[in-house]
Structure 1
Amino acid sequence: MRCTVTVRVALVLLTLFTTWYFAGELYPNKVDMKSLRRIFDNKEEEAPTEEKVKFSCGNDKPCPDGYFAFRIISGAANVVGPSFCFDNIIIMSSVRNNIGRGLNIALINASNGTLIKTGSFDMYFTDVKLLLEFLKPVQDGTLVLVASYDDPGTNLNEEARALFTSFGSSYAKKVHFRDAWIFVGGKGINTESPFEQYLQNNKETNKYDGWPEVLEMEGCIPRKTK
């Protein structure tokens, strides 16, 4: 008896879906699969959600002509490395295998947006002289993008801090053990950069065990024309 009932139910369902299929072939504009599914689910059809438009580098707003879009994400604790996007190109990331613990830095030509070079400096183990050798030759008209990962400040001396300050940083003198820091400045800007975020390593407020939360920043940088 139970087997007979099961067969009958199966035949009914087969008939229903066969009818739906041929009706869809004959009257394609009158058959809605979502409506059919609603018969079985007994749920109200959800209104379609409007997909949020993303712009260059996945930013929420477009940049005007003559500006470069950027997005920087700091490292997450000592687990996930930082990421740099500039003019809709990922220039530093774990996938590109050109980031490391400490300070991650990208130098970019502010006139044409081309990448000059990148560097990663472990400020817990690396001699700060390597960082100074990387930064001192930077020429006017060069953008300097920085993101921390794990520990950006242990061996960061006063000379290195002064260099970052000359690039427009307001927080370079405060960066210490396991602080979070992202920054975009440049050689010869002669003003404080509006593109900088900093979080102090504080066990009372840290999101992760021993590290502050991830920092993320997006914006538009004017192309240097002179």
Structure 2
Amino acid sequence: MRPWTAGTLKAAFFFFASISAWYSGYLLAELIPEVSLTRAVYGFRNIAEKPLLKAPTPKRQKCDHWTPCPLNTYAYRLLSGGGRDKYAKICFEDELLIGEKTGNVGRGINIAIVDYLTGKVRATQYFNMVEGDNSGLMATFIQSAPPKSLLFMVTQDDGASGLKEDAKKVIEALGSKQIRNIKFRSSWVFLTAKGFELPADIQRENINHSDNARNRYSGWPAEIQIEGCIPKMPS
């Protein structure tokens, strides 16, 4: 084939391809409305500009429970102390009754008394079981709780050294099974009621004085806790 003939064919092919592309574009523009094209472009632009969706932050529950308490119940959490800088806490209905932030936690046995009918705190107090003779004062404080009261007790540091028979009997009468087993710096938490019975399925007490747990805080047992939901008084 002569050179000029090949060049002519290439030029003709290029011209034909150009005409076909132009005509295809013309037909596309006629068949698809301009509004649809504009919306499509705008949609792609929005997708590019929109931030990536993030998983919602889990809703915080009362007293840092993992799951919410049912309606018509009180949420509570009792945490013993663990080591010099791990302070005991008593939380009820998301209110910190005793703890480091409230400034009313102390060495010994910490107690909060709550009105079961209203859910309002009646009194809080800690009793040093290392310095001073406070066992009798604690027994009197517990006995002063009026009927229809919830009582929460947690240890901070040592709650056993100065604990005498009078206080043990009072706490034992409220249902404690472990008060006579408390040792030096045992971690202990106790939930009880005065003037009414708690549901049988509620954990009321926990204790830890195992030597296997003492390495965590250089000779101190690790903190322990109980938490749950208490049914309110039927209206």
Same fold (TM over 0.5): yes
Residue pair 2:106, 2:156 contacting (<8 A) in 1 also: yes
Which SS does the other structure have where 2:122 is aligned? Answer: strand
CA deviation vs aligned residue, 1:13-37 (integer Å, no higher than 9, x gap):
xxxxxxxxxxxxx934314777xxx
Alignment of 1:93-172 (within 5 A): 93-127=99-133, 128-172=135-179
CA deviation vs aligned residue, 1:181-222 (integer Å, no higher than 9, x gap):
01111113467862211001x434423222111112210112
Closer, same or farther in 2 for the Cα pair 1:61/1:204, shift >3 Å?
closer
Counterpart Cα distance in 1 of 2:175 and 2:71: 24
Paired position in structure 1 for 2:223: 214
Residue pair 1:83, 1:90 contacting (<8 A) in 2 also: yes
Deviation at 1:156?
A: 0.9
Deviation at 1:225?
A: 4.8
- Provide structure 2 residue ranges, at least 5 long, that are not aligned to the other structure: 1-43
Counterpart Cα distance in 2 of 1:126 and 1:221: 35
Paired position in structure 1 for 2:205: 196
Aligned length: 188
Residue pair 1:166, 1:187 contacting (<8 A) in 2 also: no
Q: Kindly indicate which of the two structures has a greater share of residues assigned to helix.
A: 2
Which SS does the other structure have where 1:29 is aligned? Answer: helix
**Runs of 4+ off more than 6 Å:** none
Counterpart Cα distance in 1 of 2:90 and 2:182: 20
- State the superposition RMSD in angstroms: 2.5
- Provide structure 1 residue ranges, at least 5 long, that are not aligned to the other structure: 1-25, 35-46
Taking structure 1 as the reference length, the TM-score comes to 0.74
Residue pair 2:168, 2:179 contacting (<8 A) in 1 also: yes
Deviation at 1:163?
A: 1.2
Letter in 2 for 1:174: N
- Confirm or deny that 1:29 pairs with 2:59: no
- Confirm or deny that 1:184 pairs with 2:184: no
Deviation at 1:84?
A: 1.4
Taking structure 2 as the reference length, the TM-score comes to 0.71
CA deviation vs aligned residue, 1:97-125 (integer Å, no higher than 9, x gap):
01111111000001111100000111111
